[in-house]
Structure 1
């Protein structure tokens, strides 16, 4: 019996809310459609994404163009409920990934979602930038993705020859293992990854302070992921001085509400990281960002995010009040 691929599994029809469905009736108001396409409606984040997705399929050329621009300009924090949802429709996730293919933060969030189609990742790795490739094509790439996805890197003209050579080696190793009657990629990958992580976690317990700091500053992604959680701030802060740390890891730490005060402080000290809008937005939302810093970043937020922050229950009242003042001031200027 041929092996069932991820794409051969039955996919349910997209279920949308009555508010979204009303936008696609025969007598739907064009002005209201355009308002939603621009992201100015009152829909929640999931409904907003569903509306943009459906505009891309059934909207006029103008609606499609406006909806695509809105999706491009959306923040990852706004998209997070959709990107990380294990019950989200895979075609919606594919739509987001194709439009935001150069947004590392989006792809990092998608990577955690098990329902993303393999064909989505094939498209990403065949067409993305070198920055995206360099983040994902690390030591765990062979364990994390099936052969068809890894092979897509070989089609990407942004992939350097060294990277392609490494991918080709993993493909040949995987093929020989399968022909010898070994376990499938998924089974091998889970066992290998679990063993690697357990071994490193055991090793950490035996390392002295100096050795931990050295490993934090030179280790691979698994080491960084373990040591950034270390209770000693010298060790956790050293991870952010590792030259191999990626923008995606920095964004993840900024978005992770359990990140320590010391880790947040290190991110705030790096001007290059702060040039990333998604990082600044995540820092505004983070409970351990000093309030004066968070308020200063508000002036760099786009109007949509300011409106969302003004209604948020996940930030301090000072942030909410500042956002409301910004909205009122803009309304007064516009008459």
Structure 2
């Protein structure tokens, strides 16, 4: 984290941290009297935390520590927030689990920040580090046998299952599901067959749909199908992301990257393990977020440099 720091702020905010700014003006800014939005405020306060005047740096740090949740959230969800700002906010506000979780999910967050949050029990950081570790192992294994698999070779890893022939039985199960209470649905989701799982995974009650993911009979082919569903609720997608066995499967990682419901930190990490052909497709795709497409182009450029 020692590289020079350049922060984008509005001209009015930049004027508060210029070299010739009077001490009193700096102190006003350090107390939070900064024009502009939350991003400007956070950037100015971060800069002033490192001011040579002890009174200024101490005041700025106190103000950062006392920022309200609304302002904090505005900073930590902004895509352009610098990772150093995320880091200092993580260290000052790790006790606020919602804010800390948002920091952990930011695509630019430093590894050191994630490790700090994980040590302090922030589950989002723990999950991401677990997946990152698993992907590192996958990448190392791939290096031992050559390049990572591309789309064509990887699709063979998960065999598609045959369609159920008894559509009438499926319809009757669907009709029966409409008469069930939540407790009955949860039981069926946890123990039912493929047809029941395909019905319950789409249930509007998250307890029911989430129970499907705990069904010991669920297959990789089903997980792949679920990972491709853009209408699936966030908790289901996240459950796939943090399951080490499922994300070992290349097609599942690829599907998660392509699904806009996948939290960005996971999508970005999974994309780093994809083959060049799939990354190139993501770079051109209009169906993924701009962050994913931009990062895909960066990965391709870096490979060309190598």
Provide the TM-score with structure 1 as the length reference.
0.44
Q: Indicate the structure (1 or 2) with the bigger Cα radius of gyration.
A: 2
